[in-house]
Structure formats: structure tokens, C-alpha cells
Amino acid sequence: MDTAASETVWTQVGSIDDIPVLGSRVVRTPGGDIALFRTAADEVFALEDACPHKQGPLSQGIVHGRRVTCPLHSWVIELATGEAVAPDEGRTGHVPVRVEGRSVSLALAEAKLSRGGCRKACGHV
């Protein structure tokens, strides 16, 4: 994935106020659902809405600190990186997020998705 040359394209998806504190909302994209999370400190993170374990929808989990617990079998995933917390192993895709004022945007083209086509290209999984 070579983005160095091109300018980042940000897609506005809504307001931070639309995401509950310690909660999540889903953005549907042609490449699959993206889960947006908001922490108590008002940070926003975006992960592919699929757990590295068995693709559980992470958007439905409980958010605590900067992590989410998967609703299906309770793996804990780092919001910033998509990485599973040890002892579990695996990583789900993450998408760069920008918050300007209250408005939230995603850099979808730079998403490091694990189920999408860039699995090999970005060497991220």
C-alpha cells in the first residue's frame, strides 16, 4: 500500500457526540463494517468490526480504558492497534481516525484491513 505520494483522503462519518462515551457505532463500507469507539477521554478509534478470533462484531463489546472486550468469547482487543491482548494472539484491521472539533473522519484508503484485499500488500497481519 503506497500512500506516501498521495494526499490522505478523509471521509467524514459523523460527530463524536453520536458515539456514546465508552461505546461504539458502526460505519458500513464496501470493504466491510468499521467499528468506531469512543473512550472516556473522548478519543476515537476505528477497527474492522470483526474479532481476530472468530469475527465477532467488536462494536458490540464493552469498552474500557483503550480496549474493547469482544462480545462473543471475551477476547480483549487494543483499540489503537487492533491487536489482541495476551495470552490471545491475533490482530484485526484498524483505520486512521481524525477528529476535528466534533467531526470524525476516517482515512479509509489507508485502512489496514485484515479481511480486505490489502492483507498481503501492507504486510500488517
Query: Site residues (CB under 6 A) for ligand FES?
Result: 51, 53-54, 56, 70, 72-75
47: contact with other proteins by CB under 8 A: no
Q: Which of ligand FES, other proteins, none does residue 20 bind to, with CB < 5 to 8 Å depending on kind?
A: other proteins
Contact by Cβ (8 Å): 92, 52: yes
- 4-43 footprint of other proteins as x/- string (CB under 8 A): -------x-xx---xxxxxx-xxxxxxx----x--xxxxx
77: contact with other proteins by CB under 8 A: no
Q: 38-70 in b/e burial notation, b at 16+ Cβ within 10 A?
A: bbeeeebbbbbbbbbbebbbbbebebeeebbbb
63: contact with other proteins by CB under 8 A: yes
Question: What's the Cα-to-Cα distance from 106 to each of 12, 44, 68, 88, 98, rounded to whole Å?
Answer: 6, 10, 19, 28, 6
CA 39, CA 60: separation in Å to the nearest integer?
14
Among residues 3 and 74, whose Cβ is nearest to ligand FES?
74
57: contact with other proteins by CB under 8 A: yes
69: contact with other proteins by CB under 8 A: yes
- CB 86, min distance to ligand FES, A: 14
